[in-house]
Amino acid sequence: MTDRKDFLTREKFMEELYRYKKGSVTRRHFLGVTGLGLATSVLGSAVPGLRGAAFAQGSIGDRVVLATWPNYHDPANFEAFTAATGAAVDMNVFGSNEEMLAKLQAGGSGWDIVVATNYAIPTYVETGLIEPLDLSRIPNFDPSAYDPRFASPGVIEGKTYGIPRNLGTTGYCINTADLEGGATPTTWKEYWDLTRGALSGRVIVHDYQLTAIGNALKYFGYSFNSVDPAELAEAEKLLIEAKPHLFAITSDYQPSMRSGDAAMSMCWTGDAVQLQRDIPEIAYVLGKEGGELWSDFFTVPASAPHKDAAYALINFLLDPQIGAKEQAFHGYPTGDSRVDALMPEEVLKDPVLYPAAELLSALEFGAAVTLTDPTRAEIMARFKAA
């Protein structure tokens, strides 16, 4: 427990106690000399509720801190990890890559793993916030199991900074019961026309510049990632025209879609699956013009205090058996062919999760430039304030 060789006699202890009580020595001196301070701190950290249960094992540390997304992990898998390694998993849940980046930039996040979306990775690398991964410490990672299209954003200048986690698309969900017999739309043009027409007052746009502006750009057939001022001006005009017709600008759209207040909303894959599970009339549409395709990656910040535990957790979650359990929980495809092999056929046939090739090929990955482009940020502010 301690390398202290000198043994404190009973007499000496009492003598020190009296000196302390008289005030002739400080509390720190007293606790140090008698060893009580050390004993207290050791006892304190050994109480299970105060620290992770792993204290005794100590090999990879007692905890790992994860910055990630809501409804994105099966807690049972974390418990299994803690049982196997002794490291408790602390989760910090976020609403956007921008928010994660802001917290990392501010420093002192204490995070060991950050789940970053493809377009955020170049910025993380340029600012030195994440570091290249030592793949020898992630034996469960098999690059050949992934479609290079989804895995490549994690690799920058030949170095792997991100291990693919989940992938998905951004389309829109629409409650077909509200179309009153009309055909289910298939394009972003119809989304914005319905907003200003038949579904006025019942449409939701993400509170997220990448998708709100990107999908407005798609109305005109421009790139989802455009930072061209003239194209952005057109998108802004459309957004501001649509604003009075919107039900809300929010990324928390499930409650309103479920209550029926909203009839249509920009939507991510996982939310669409969850909505359809309970309300079969809700359709998920990938605009024919294109839109966003995204993949999330495990990254390790340069400032991570528990790197060993970070590598251990990433490796643990990449085990195909664990990956299959994760997918069963959150619904997003992992992109890992070894996990797909374990999936039931009806999941693999689900067009929401695995869209048809021609729809998929029109989609674009979000570009890093949109994350830091000041013009897009100002357009979003004007749209919300209008």
Question: Which residue ranges make up the site for another protein (CB under 8 A)?
Answer: 96, 98-99, 101-102, 105, 123, 126-127, 201, 207, 209, 243, 246-250, 255-256, 259-261, 371-372, 374, 377-378, 380-382, 384-386
Residue among 144 and 259 whose Cβ is closer to another protein: 259
Q: Which two tokens stand for residue 111?
A: 């995070």
Residue among 136 and 259 whose Cβ is closer to another protein: 259
Smallest separation (angstroms) from another protein to the CB of 240: 11
- What stretches of the chain adopt beta strand conformation (E)? 63-68, 88-93, 113-117, 155-156, 159-160, 163-175, 203-205, 246-249, 264-268, 282-285, 291-299, 363-365
- What stretches of 5-87 adopt beta strand conformation (E)? 63-68
Residue among 251 and 269 whose Cβ is closer to another protein: 251
Instruction: Give the N- to C-terminal CA distance of the chain in Å, as an integer.
Output: 64
| Helix, strand, or coil (residue 292) | strand
Residue 202: alpha-carbon gap to chain centroid = 28
Separation CA 28–CA 30 (nearest Å): 5
Residue among 115 and 359 whose Cβ is closer to another protein: 115
Report whether 370 contacts 209 (CB < 8 A). yes
Smallest separation (angstroms) from another protein to the CB of 130: 12
Smallest separation (angstroms) from another protein to the CB of 373: 9
Report whether 338 contacts 192 (CB < 8 A). no
Residue among 138 and 205 whose Cβ is closer to another protein: 205
Smallest separation (angstroms) from another protein to the CB of 134: 25
Smallest separation (angstroms) from another protein to the CB of 101: 7
Q: What is the dihedral of CA 98, 99, 100, 105, to 10 degrees?
A: 80
Residue among 131 and 308 whose Cβ is closer to another protein: 131
Smallest separation (angstroms) from another protein to the CB of 250: 5
Report whether 71 contacts 166 (CB < 8 A). no
